[in-house]
Amino acid sequence: MRSDVITRGLERTPHRALLKGTGVPQSEMEKPFIGVATSFTDLIPGHVGMRDLERFIEKGIHTGGGYAFFFGIPGVCDGIAMGHKGMHYSLATRELIADMVESIAEAHRLDGLVLLTNCDKITPGMLMAAARVDIPSIVVTAGPMMAGRGPDERRYSFVTDTFEAMARYKAGVIDGKELQVCEDNACPGMGSCQGLFTANTMAILTETLGMSLPRCGTALAVSALKRRIAFASGEKIVELVRNNVTPREILTREAFENAIRVDLALGGSSNTVLHLLAIAHEAGVELPLETFDILARETPQLASMNPAGGHFMEDLDVAGGVLGVLKQLGDRVRDCRTVMGLSTGQLVSSIERVDEKVIHPVDNPVKKEGGIAILFGNLAPKGAVVKQSGVSEPMMKFTGTARCFDSEEEAMAALMQGEITSGNVVVIRYEGPKGGPGMREMLAPTAAIMGLGLGDSVALITDGRFSGGTRGPCIGHVSPEAAEGGPIALVEEGDRILLDIPNRRLELLVDEATLKARQEAWRAPEPKIKRGWLSRYAKLVTSAYTGAITTAD
């Protein structure tokens, strides 16, 4: 075992002494050393219940014959970080998390890892580390939050009943009392936000990839089932260590294609494009951005999930969960290895029933194409991403007049002051991986557009990204980004922009000679953040079309 280098031999006497100083008995020195990377924090609703899951993971590890060591991993709540300086740090922490897990696993020669996670950038960061270190690993996602319940018996969710409600209040659609009811009921307790936002999408894709046990991706945070999954994961990691089953044996090209198809079938978060690209990079799997669009054209959307639809995670779990989606996709699914020890096909064959009111059959889809589309054109030569599952039919093709803003704050102020009107295309730039830095989510302006009733008449384009809660004609990840002199930096007030999602086009309707003159006159702006580790991150991070990874190249 890897841990032999710190537990065996005369020359390891000092190492054993230090381990005994932590309380490890001599009798446990020959057992597999399992690191439990826990992202427990009091700061995030999705993580406050992890202390309970830690207990069950530890019980499972010891039952399986291993010895557990816990170490902490930080987490950022995107909802709390939204709309201010904090959001610069969110995506960037994904790289920190991967680096931290790698550091502890390598420095302490751990034999295996249980990765306890839940929210947006933490789960992909953990998976990146697992793929990079490539020692036996299993992921436990802490589970989604229950929908809120208000006095009117309706179900409440975080995005639609806070960010969008705020804009509806501003527009006079709801009063202060109703806004307070939304605020009080949107987040009733522990768990990741109730809809198919980034946290829950990534939990689902982690299970689809084969890196967590069945039902882990959808079982509610408050459920006894989640405890049992945590215990079983603790037992399973010891078995994986003994059989030397490593992440790169599971994270194959075929597994990534399955994950993309499930994402498309559910209409999941557009952030998963960044994360799957980054995880694939660490796993040594070639996964071009175009793959998402190729699969989208042949994978129908089978569910209508909140925020774009009416179903919540609790509905999806009861309807059949991840395996139910895979079953409905049928022969589109590739048979792959999983941490469970059974193949994807074997697991799917165990499903007897799927609630087709929630997860439609492929011959009666919600939409004929998957939830994400990749756009190209002179405004996005390297690609852009849109969550087409959240776009209304009238806005699938749209030509509008550019309103240009060099930060999210400028755009938000214009929206709240009523300066954005029907027929506008809101362009928010210098918010990409380098320019942000950190590629901030634009949930506040996108929610404002919807809440102000402009979702069928205004589009938004950015080199930043969006929350999984975003809906409407919102195009992100525009590459190259403005800070690199990409075409989005050259857009001027009053320019006409064409959005054509069915034909995958994003065009700036300006002649080439004019664009060439603007390019020659363009100068890179001063960095927004010049101190701290984000200034280093900005120098190392790559474009969105590569997954916004950091590299020394």
Amino acid at 302: L
The answer to whether the beta carbons of residues 147 and 156 sit under 8 Å apart is yes
Q: What is the pLDDT along the chain (553 residues), one digit of tens a residue?
A: 999 999 999 999 999 999 999 999 999 999 999 999 999 999 999 999 999 999 999 999 999 999 999 999 999 999 999 888 999 999 999 999 999 999 999 999 999 999 999 999 999 999 999 999 999 999 999 999 999 998 888 899 987 788 888 888 988 999 999 999 999 999 999 999 999 999 999 999 999 999 999 999 999 999 999 999 999 999 999 999 999 999 999 999 999 999 999 999 999 999 999 999 999 999 999 999 999 999 999 999 999 999 889 999 999 999 999 999 999 999 999 999 999 999 999 999 999 999 999 999 999 999 999 999 999 999 999 999 999 998 999 999 999 999 999 999 999 999 999 999 999 999 999 999 999 999 999 888 988 898 889 999 999 999 999 887 788 899 999 999 999 999 999 999 999 999 999 999 999 999 999 999 999 999 999 999 999 999 999 999 999 999 999 986 5
Residue whose C-alpha is closest to residue 340's, from 213, 231, 203, 232: 213
Which pLDDT score is estimated for 83? 82
Which pLDDT score is estimated for 240? 98
- Cα–Cα distance, 173 to 130 (Å, whole number): 47
Residues 6+ apart with CB under 8 A from 167: 447, 448, 449, 450, 451, 452
The answer to whether the beta carbons of residues 447 and 164 sit under 8 Å apart is yes
Which pLDDT score is estimated for 553? 59
- Cα–Cα distance, 198 to 474 (Å, whole number): 16
Residue reference for tokens 């557990």: 68
31-146+189-349 matches 374-546 in fold? no
DSSP letters for 372-396 = EEEEEETTEEEEEEEEGGGS-GGGS
Residues 6+ apart with CB under 8 A from 418: none
Residue reference for tokens 């779990």: 317
- Cα–Cα distance, 497 to 427 (Å, whole number): 10
Which pLDDT score is estimated for 170? 85
DSSP letters for 67-136 = EEEEEE-----HHHHTTSGGGGGHHHHHHHHHHHHHHHHHHTT-SEEEEEE-STTHHHHHHHHHHHH-SS
467 is catalytic: yes
Look at the chain and count its residues.
553
- Cα–Cα distance, 553 to 551 (Å, whole number): 5
Q: Pseudo-torsion of CA 265, 267, 273, 278, nearest 10°?
A: -70
Which pLDDT score is estimated for 88? 94
Residue whose C-alpha is closest to residue 430's, from 532, 529, 536: 529
Sign of CA dihedral 407, 271, 95, 546: negative
Token output for 327:
């079953």
Residues 6+ apart with CB under 8 A from 416: 170, 448
Which pLDDT score is estimated for 164? 83
Q: Yes or no: is domain 31-146+189-349 CATH 3.50.50.60?
A: no
The answer to whether the beta carbons of residues 127 and 153 sit under 8 Å apart is no
Which pLDDT score is estimated for 167? 83
Q: Is 184 helix (H, G, I), strand (E, B) or coil?
A: helix
Is residue 169 within a helix (H) or strand (E), and if so which, with residue range?
Answer: helix 164-170
- Cα–Cα distance, 270 to 387 (Å, whole number): 6
Token output for 134:
């490539």
Amino acid at 56: F
Q: Is 362 helix (H, G, I), strand (E, B) or coil?
A: coil
**Class level of CATH domain 374-546:** alpha beta
Q: Is 539 helix (H, G, I), strand (E, B) or coil?
A: helix
Among 39, 90, 467, 543, the one annotated catalytic: 467
How is the chain split into domains, by residue range? 1-30, 31-146+189-349, 149-185, 374-546
17 burial (CB, 10 Å; 0-12 / 13-18 / 19+) is exposed
Is residue 475 within a helix (H) or strand (E), and if so which, with residue range?
Answer: strand 474-479
